[in-house]
Copies of this chain bind each other. A is one copy, B any other.
Amino acid sequence: MTAYTATVTVRLKRGVLDPEAETTRRALERLGFELAGLRSADRFDIDLEAEDADEAADRAEEMAERLLANPTIHDYEVAVAEK
């Protein structure tokens, strides 16, 4: 078994309103920053033991499907690195 860190990034699908990001964007603009857009995402770094990187990615993907992301409104991506 090898120790891996799986990074799961969960973001809202295009077209889903993101009031938190909109608020952050406006607050930055009020501070004088110029920006063309802002999107927010949740990132989870998960340490796990697996036989290989594929198994680690499969398990992280299942975690995303079952808990970390809501497939109705979220897209997610999984990246795996040896720890």
Residues on A facing B (Cβ under 8 Å): 3, 9, 21, 24, 27-28, 31, 33-49, 59, 62-63, 66-68
Contacts and interface: CB of A to CB of B under 8 A. Distances in A.
19 contacts: A3-B36, A21-B44, A24-B68, A28-B63, A33-B62, A34-B48, A35-B46, A35-B47, A35-B48, A36-B48, A36-B49, A38-B44, A38-B45, A40-B42, A40-B44, A41-B43, A41-B44, A41-B45, A42-B43
A1 B22 CA distance: 24
Given A24-B68, A67-B24, A36 B47 contact: yes
Nearest to A43: B41
Given A27-B67, A67-B27, A37 B42 contact: no
A14 to B, nearest CB: 13
